[in-house]
Structures are given as C-alpha cells and as structure tokens.
Amino acid sequence: LAVAGILVLFTLALTWIAAIAGLSAKTVEGASAFSYPLIFLPFISSAFVPTDSMPKAVRAFADNQPVTSIVEAIRALLSGQPVGNDIWVALAWCLGIMIVAYLFAVRAYKRSAA
C-alpha cells in the first residue's frame, strides 16, 4: 500500500505539471515538448545505476532530485529493507511538487481564461 501511495502521489504531481503545460502552451506540440525534461529525470537518478558510480556533478544532481528518493523508497519497500528517510523525502518531494504545480496551474488557468 505504501508503494501504491507513493506512486499515486507522484502521478498526481506529474499530472499538475502536465496541466501547466496544457494551459500555457499555444499548440499541442508545444505542450508535448514541455514533458521532454521530465522524461530524462529517471535516467539521471538511482533508478538504473547507483549514484556512487556517477561523476561528481551528475551525482550531486541525481542525489538531490525527486526520482532518486522515490525510487529508493519504492526499492526498499518492495525488497523488505528499512526505508529510512527516503520515504519522507519522497513524500516531501511529491507534496511540494503538487502544491507548487497546482499554484502555477491555477495562475495559468486564470491567464488563459482572461
């Protein structure tokens, strides 16, 4: 249930980000191009390789972005390992992204409605 909860929260956060793109873009292509940076976040995280094996600059980014904490929390939960702080960091990222993206989406909606 904890894994499902994290995935639902992360999906909601990404949905609000997508709402910003949909409300702000002038064309469909523009809205879809907005998602390209988000697509690359898992590749610069601990999802595929440990961050210890990355160069310093890449490791600094990978250790401090939302996908790494979410992946580490889910990995620990599914393998029955202690989760530690990763779950709280993942929840903070998800809630923070949702709140900020919601505020920007509301602002974009008001601009498009005017």
Q: What is the pLDDT of residue 74?
A: 93
Q: Cα–Cα distance between 74 and 22 in angstroms, integer?
A: 29
The pLDDT tens digits for 15-62 are 998 888 888 888 888 888 887 888 888 888 888 888 889 999 999 999
The pLDDT tens digits for 91-114 are 999 999 999 999 999 998 888 877
- Number of domains making up the chain: 1
Q: Cα–Cα distance between 87 and 75 in angstroms, integer?
A: 10
Please answer whether residues 103 and 110 qualify as being in contact, where contact means their C-beta atoms are separated by less than 8 angstroms: no
**Residue whose C-alpha is closest to residue 82's, from 69, 91, 72:** 72
Q: What is the pLDDT of residue 55?
A: 92
Query: What would you report as the CA-atom Rg of the chain, rounded to the nearest whole angstrom?
Result: 16
Q: What is the pLDDT of residue 23?
A: 86
User: Whole domain around residue 15: which residue ranges?
Assistant: 2-113
Q: What is the pLDDT of residue 59?
A: 93
